[in-house]
Structure 1
Amino acid sequence: MTAAEDQHTVSPFATMIVLPIAGLVAVLHCVAATSAEGYWFDEVYMLAIGRHHLDWGSADQPPITPALAALMDAIAPGSVLALRVPVMLATAAAVVVAALIARELGGDRRAQGVTAFAQATGVWVALGGHWLTPYMLEPVQWLLMVWLLVRWIRVRDDRLLLVFGVVAGVAALTKFQVLLLCAVLIAAVAAVGPRELLRRRLLWAGAAVAALLAAPTLLWQHANGWPQLSMGSVVIGEADALYGGRFGVAVQMLLFAGIIGTALMGYGLWRLWREPELREYRFIGVAFVVLFVVFVAAPGRPYYVAGLYAPLAAFGALGLQHRRQTGRRGRGWLVWMAGVSSAALAAAVLVLSVTIIRADAGEQIAGDTAAAYHALPEEQRQHTVVIGQSYIVAAYLDGYSTRFGLPQAYSTNRSYGFFPPPPAEYDTVLYVGSDDDEISSYFAQSRPIADVGDDMQAYLLTGQRRSWEQIWPRMRTLTVG
Structure 2
Amino acid sequence: MIIDQTERSSASAGRPPHPWAMWPTLAIAGVLTVAHAVMGAFGDYWIDEVYMLAAGRFHPDWGYADQPPLVPMIGAAMDFLAPDSMFVLRLPVALTTGATVVLIALLAREFGADRRAQTIAAFAGATGLWANLVGHWLAPYSFEPLLWTALFLPLVRWLRQHSQGVADDRLLLAFGLLLGINLQAKFQVAILCAALLLSTLVVGPRALLARPKLWAGAGIALLIASPALIWQALHGWPQLEMSRVVAAESPVLSGGRGGTAVMLLLYAGVLGTALVLMGLWLLLAEERLRPYRMFALAMIVLWIFFVVTAARPYYLIGMYGLPIAAAVVGLQRRREAKPSRWGWAAWPVYAVTALAAGAMIFTADAINRGFSSAITHVQAERISDGIARQVSDVYRALPPEQRSRTAVVGDSYISASMLDIGGRHHPLPEVFSPHRGYGFFGHPDDGIDTIVLFARSADEIRPFFTDARLAVPGDDLKVWVLSGRTEPWAQIWPAVRSMR
TM-score class, shorter: over 0.9
- The 1-side partners of 2:282 and 2:249 are apart by 35
Equivalences for 1:460-471 in 2 at 5 Å? Answer: 460-471=481-492
Query: Could you tell me which residue of structure 2 aligns to residue 154 of structure 1?
Result: 160
Q: Does 1:321 align with 2:359?
A: no
Aligned AA (1:441): P
Instruction: Please tell me whether the aligned partners of residues 28 and 357 of structure 2 are also in contact (alpha carbons under 8 angstroms).
Output: no
SS of the equivalent of 1:406 reads coil
Query: Could you tell me which residue of structure 1 aligns to residue 118 of structure 2?
Result: 112
Q: Which runs of 4+ in 1 moved over 6 A?
A: 335-345
Pairwise CA distance, 1:410 = 0.6
Query: Could you tell me which residue of structure 1 aligns to residue 366 of structure 2?
Result: 351
- The 2-side partners of 1:49 and 1:35 are apart by 22
SS of the equivalent of 1:444 reads strand
Match of 1:459 among 477, 480, 487: 480
Pairwise CA distance, 1:35 = 2.2
Normalized against structure 1, the TM-score is what? 0.94
Query: Could you tell me which residue of structure 2 aligns to residue 332 of structure 1?
Result: none
Match of 2:436 among 414, 420, 429: 414
Equivalences for 1:285-296 in 2 at 5 Å? Answer: 285-296=296-307
Query: Could you tell me which residue of structure 2 aligns to residue 431 of structure 1?
Result: 453
Query: Could you tell me which residue of structure 2 aligns to residue 222 of structure 1?
Result: 233
Query: Could you tell me which residue of structure 1 aligns to residue 344 of structure 2?
Result: none
Q: Does 1:399 align with 2:421?
A: yes
RMSD (Å), alpha carbons: 2.3
The gaps in structure 2 that reach 5 residues or longer are 3-8, 162-166, 341-348, 378-382
Equivalences for 1:73-472 in 2 at 5 Å? Answer: 73-155=79-161, 156-327=167-338, 346-359=361-374, 360=376, 362-363=383-384, 364-451=386-473, 454-472=475-493
- The 2-side partners of 1:24 and 1:338 are apart by 11
- The 2-side partners of 1:25 and 1:338 are apart by 13
Instruction: Please tell me whether the aligned partners of residues 372 and 449 of structure 1 are also in contact (alpha carbons under 8 angstroms).
Output: yes
- The 2-side partners of 1:367 and 1:436 are apart by 20
Pairwise CA distance, 1:199 = 1.0
Pairwise CA distance, 1:7 = 5.8
Instruction: For residues 238-297 of structure 1, give each alpha carbon's deviation from its aligned partner in whole angstroms, at most 9, with x where no partner exists.
Output: 000111001101111111000000011111111112211000011111111100110011
Cα 1:348–1:406 change in 2 (3 A) is farther
Aligned AA (1:425): G
Instruction: Please tell me whether the aligned partners of residues 24 and 354 of structure 2 are also in contact (alpha carbons under 8 angstroms).
Output: no
- The 1-side partners of 2:410 and 2:66 are apart by 18
Instruction: For residues 351-384 of structure 1, give each alpha carbon's deviation from its aligned partner in whole angstroms, at most 9, with x where no partner exists.
Output: 2332344342533333322232233333322221
- The 2-side partners of 1:236 and 1:341 are apart by 38
Match of 2:66 among 60, 64, 73: 60
Query: Could you tell me which residue of structure 1 aligns to residue 495 of structure 2?
Result: 474
Instruction: Please tell me whether the aligned partners of residues 389 and 411 of structure 1 are also in contact (alpha carbons under 8 angstroms).
Output: yes
SS of the equivalent of 1:203 reads helix
Aligned AA (1:59): A
- The 2-side partners of 1:15 and 1:260 are apart by 21
SS of the equivalent of 2:138 reads coil
Instruction: Please tell me whether the aligned partners of residues 18 and 113 of structure 1 are also in contact (alpha carbons under 8 angstroms).
Output: yes
- The 2-side partners of 1:311 and 1:340 are apart by 24
Pairwise CA distance, 1:408 = 3.1
Aligned AA (1:417): G
Pairwise CA distance, 1:172 = 0.5
How many correspondences in the alignment? 474
Instruction: Please tell me whether the aligned partners of residues 406 and 429 of structure 2 are also in contact (alpha carbons under 8 angstroms).
Output: no
Normalized against structure 2, the TM-score is what? 0.90
Aligned AA (1:250): A
Aligned AA (2:452): L
Cα 1:341–1:239 change in 2 (3 A) is farther
- The 2-side partners of 1:275 and 1:55 are apart by 48
SS of the equivalent of 2:468 reads strand
Instruction: Please tell me whether the aligned partners of residues 259 and 339 of structure 1 are also in contact (alpha carbons under 8 angstroms).
Output: no
Pairwise CA distance, 1:154 = 2.2
Stretch of structure 1 that moved more, 366-375 or 315-324: 366-375
Aligned AA (2:261): A
Aligned AA (1:140): L
Instruction: For residues 173-219 of structure 1, give each alpha carbon's deviation from its aligned partner in whole angstroms, at most 9, with x where no partner exists.
Output: 11000011111111111111111111111000000111111111111
Pairwise CA distance, 1:227 = 0.5
Pairwise CA distance, 1:235 = 0.4
Stretch of structure 1 that moved more, 252-261 or 81-90: 81-90
- The 2-side partners of 1:459 and 1:196 are apart by 64
